[in-house]
Amino acid sequence: MTDEAHDASGADSTGAETTAAEAGAAAEDSSTTGSVVRGERFRGGPARSFLSSLAADERIFAADLAVDRAHVVMLAEQGIVAEGVASEILTALAAVEAAGHDALPEGEDVHEAIESAVVDRVGPDGGRMHTARSRNDEVAACIRYRLREDLLAAAEASVGLRESLLSVAESHAETVMPGYTHLQPAQPTTVAHWALSYENAVARDTSRLLAAFARTNRSPLGAAAFAGTTFDVDRERTAALLGFDGVVRNAADAAAGRDFLVETVATLATQATTLSGLAADTLLFANRGLLTPADEYASTSSIMPQKVNPDTLELVRATAGDAVGGLTGLLTTLKGLPRAYNRDLQRATPHAWETVDAVTEATEVAAGAVATATWHEEALAAAAGEGFATATGVADLLAQAGVPFRHAHEAVAAAAADAEVALAEGDTDAAVAAVDAATESVVGEPATTRVDEATLRAALDPVESVASRDSAGGPAPSATAAEREAARAALVADRESIAACRQALAAAAETLDAEVSGYV
């Protein structure tokens, strides 16, 4: 790193006449210039680009400008910087914003680069914007500020998926389908019950995301490096200007704490895991001819012309891998970090951005795939009775007629092979005979001496079998009606909560704009 390189980059900053090649070389060499934070001593060297988070910080460019503005307004209100200086800094910040992230000077991170850009415009007084703060509370504030938006987008995506699942439940309340355990036909259920099972799980994800939002939405500003400041800062004021719902009290916790990232990523990993199950089910149903994904959620083969592959759902299923990777990366980075600030924290943040982006997108895609898939009602009805799936209902019937459940289970198990064949042939008489014979051998009398034959026939029918399982939370259309209503009400309430959070953030942004315009 030569002095010539330094000079060249210095000239470049004034230079309209430099060629593109010179400008490129100078930009590369700008790692050798002193910066507002490093001065001359820590410039240059092979570790400079390794240290820098400037590229990744593009995500918090707007957040940093807001945090800077709120901080400067508070400093002026507290008499810590003169109003004229605040005005110059706020004017320069507007110019920095207009020029955009790509126009920032080199820097270790966006915080330093923005400050350098302000000092370039204002002169040494520009450096007063960093009074009574550190990049430690600053970056924590930026991450929280930006993540709030991402959490609300993720929550909205989860509500969108619930909407799709709920509309499937509403239009298929009576559609019977096979229910599987161990991937074997187990008991008939309804499409509504299946869809609600996922809707309920994703509803918990929405509420976890909103809880993560509430804990993220606290301001660390004013913590400074970790140990507070001698200046008479008003932490509540910067918190309010940024729409935070109060402050993170302990300054070291405020600067160092990243559990809000863990909570967010863990919630997203939980949701992605649920999504992977939803995708796996859908792929299985597609494979068994029970459902067809819409073409816009399918793909084809580059060699096999007849193929319509459900690739989209496979990618949704795979997203759980990204999310678990993100969570593992994040926790592993944080594990064992001493208080208060360590640069390791810089590498914790991208795990959160990557995970929230991946899971939000996968959730939106899953919502679309669920909403547009076609359920094949005849195939579903035929498959619902496969493998003598009504056997449990028959055993229940014998038990209700006074046979100890364990004997009833044994009798129906003995009838299973013959009953399965009879039912597959649509021969209910033979199925009844098989149950009668087996019950006689186990209990000493045929089933139909204890149970009304019409009731036994009904129990063997998948539609009747489902309708009879009307216990709370069961698949009977009469039982899912209440669940569908409850799910709809919770969904509406969650949409309102998200809208209220967004409104509060927008109102704070307006207040901040209004305060800033009093200076510029």
Burial class (CB in 10 A: 0-12, 13-18, 19+), 189: buried
Coil, helix or strand for 215? Answer: helix
CB nearer ligand ARG, residue 349 or residue 439: 349
| DSSP, res 172 | T
CB nearer ligand ARG, residue 340 or residue 382: 340
Question: Which residue numbers are catalytic?
Answer: 182, 301
Q: What binding mask, one character per residue, do residues 66-85 give for ligand ARG by CB under 6 A, x or -? A: --------------------
Helical segments of 405-468, H only: 405-424, 428-443, 447-450, 453-460, 462-468
CB nearer ligand ARG, residue 107 or residue 179: 107
CB nearer ligand ARG, residue 331 or residue 379: 331
- 53 scored as a contact of ligand ARG (CB under 6 A): yes
- 116 scored as a contact of ligand ARG (CB under 6 A): no
Q: What binding mask, one character per residue, do residues 335-364 give for ligand ARG by CB under 6 A, x or -? A: ------x-x-xx--x---------------
How many whole angstroms separate alpha carbon 469 and alpha carbon 472? 9
Q: Which has the closest alpha carbon to 186: 377, 386, 380?
A: 386
> Are 388 and 420 within 8 A, CB to CB?
yes
How many whole angstroms separate alpha carbon 158 and alpha carbon 208? 11
CB nearer ligand ARG, residue 139 or residue 438: 139
- 64 scored as a contact of ligand ARG (CB under 6 A): no
- 61 scored as a contact of ligand ARG (CB under 6 A): no
Residue type, 203: A
Tokens of 97: 């914003």
Q: Which has the closest alpha carbon to 456: 419, 425, 483?
A: 419
At its nearest, how many Å lie between ligand ARG and the CB of residue 42?
Answer: 11
At its nearest, how many Å lie between ligand ARG and the CB of residue 89?
Answer: 20
- 145 scored as a contact of ligand ARG (CB under 6 A): no
For 55-104, the DSSP string reads TGGGGGHHHHHHHHHHHHHHHHHTTSS-HHHHHHHHHHHHHHHHH-GGGP
CB nearer ligand ARG, residue 93 or residue 345: 345
Q: Which has the closest alpha carbon to 222: 236, 208, 205?
A: 236
Q: Which has the closest alpha carbon to 354: 312, 387, 325, 385?
A: 325
Site for ligand ARG in 269-328 (CB under 6 A): none
**Distant-in-sequence, close-in-space partners of 94: CB < 8 Å, separation ≥ 6:** 520
At its nearest, how many Å lie between ligand ARG and the CB of residue 342?
Answer: 8
At its nearest, how many Å lie between ligand ARG and the CB of residue 56?
Answer: 8
Binding residue (CB under 6 A) for ligand ARG from 113, 139, 203, 224: 139
How many whole angstroms separate alpha carbon 156 and alpha carbon 330? 24
- 109 scored as a contact of ligand ARG (CB under 6 A): yes
At its nearest, how many Å lie between ligand ARG and the CB of residue 335?
Answer: 17
Residues touching ligand ARG, count (CB under 6 A):
10
- 436 scored as a contact of ligand ARG (CB under 6 A): no
Q: What binding mask, one character per residue, do residues 117-136 give for ligand ARG by CB under 6 A, x or -? A: ------------------xx
At its nearest, how many Å lie between ligand ARG and the CB of residue 138?
Answer: 7
Which residues of this chain interact with ligand ARG, rule CB under 6 A?
A: 53, 109, 135-136, 139, 341, 343, 345-346, 349
